[in-house]
Amino acid sequence: MKGEKIFLSPIEIKDAEELLAIRLRNFHFFQPFEPIRSEHYFTIDEQKRMIESSLQAAANDQGFVFGVFLNETNKLIGRIELSGIARGPFQNTYLGYFLDQEHNGKGYATEAVSLCVNYAFTQLGLHRIQAGVMPRNLPSIRVLAKAGFRYEGLAIKYLNINGKWEDHALYAIVAEDKNRDE
């Protein structure tokens, strides 16, 4: 999936070292927004294991993980994921993403979310995409709003983030919302 500035490609084992480098370089930047992770999480073996798991999830139509790459250099700058795909009458998935701090504020995250949303609706045939974000994470809220997500409510003590149960603002977009934009 190619956009103006970035492209999305399924994450592969060959991306493990770059992905780990992003996580290590951005440890303090990401920490306020992520669960506490063991030291093993930050190893190449664990990154490869998680990539293998994501490839299996894709094969089973349960989730899809993409690297976010710069068009100009093919450099990996982040990751975006559709997880927990539910079929049947729900046709729903959850969206999560992160970018290397060095590349924030340049429109890359908004473009990645828009490309991923388009993929979910047109290629996967999903109807709804949900995203939860801590209310203090204003940059991520702006990304979701620019990509057409609407605020749906507040989930109290929704996820354990950085050792504390955190509220999350819930955002969603449905296929009909995207069709109105075109």
37-80 pLDDT, tens digit per residue, is 999 999 999 999 999 999 999 999 999 999 999 999 999 999 99
pLDDT at 142: 96
Global confidence as pTM? 0.94
Identity of the residue numbered 47: Q
Whether the pLDDT of residue 90 is over 90: the answer is: yes
State percent of the chain over pLDDT 90: 97
Q: What is the CATH number of the domain that holds 49?
A: 3.40.630.30
105: in domain: yes
**Residues 166 and 126 sit within 8 Å (Cβ to Cβ):** no
What pLDDT score was predicted for residue 180? 54
Domain, as residue range, for 150: 6-181
Residue 64 CA to residue 3 CA, distance in Å, equals 18
Residue 178 has pLDDT above 80, yes or no: no
In a domain, 84, yes or no: yes
Residue 130 belongs to a domain:
yes
pLDDT category at 124 given cuts 50, 70, 90 is very high
Domain assignment present for 113: yes
pLDDT tens-digit readout, 19-36:
999 999 999 999 999 999
pLDDT in tens, 145-164: 999 999 999 999 999 999 99
Domains in the chain: how many in total? 1
The one-letter amino acid at 98: F
DSSP label at residue 12: -
The verdict on residue 1 lying in a domain is: no
**Residue at 174 is within a domain:** yes
Q: Is residue 140 part of a domain?
A: yes
Residues of the chain by 3-state class (helix, strand, coil), percent to 5:
40, 35, 25
Q: How would DSSP label each residue in 62-91?
A: S-EEEEEEETTT--EEEEEEEEEEE-TTT-
**Structure confidence by residue, pLDDT tens digits, 131-140:** 999 999 999 9
- pLDDT score, position 170: 98
Residue 182 has pLDDT above 80, yes or no: no
Q: What is the pLDDT of residue 179?
A: 61
Q: Is residue 63 part of a domain?
A: yes
Read off the DSSP letter of residue 77. Answer: E
Confidence of residue 181 (pLDDT cuts 50, 70, 90): low
**CA distances, 149 to each of 14, 46, 113, 114, 137 (Å):** 32, 32, 10, 10, 15
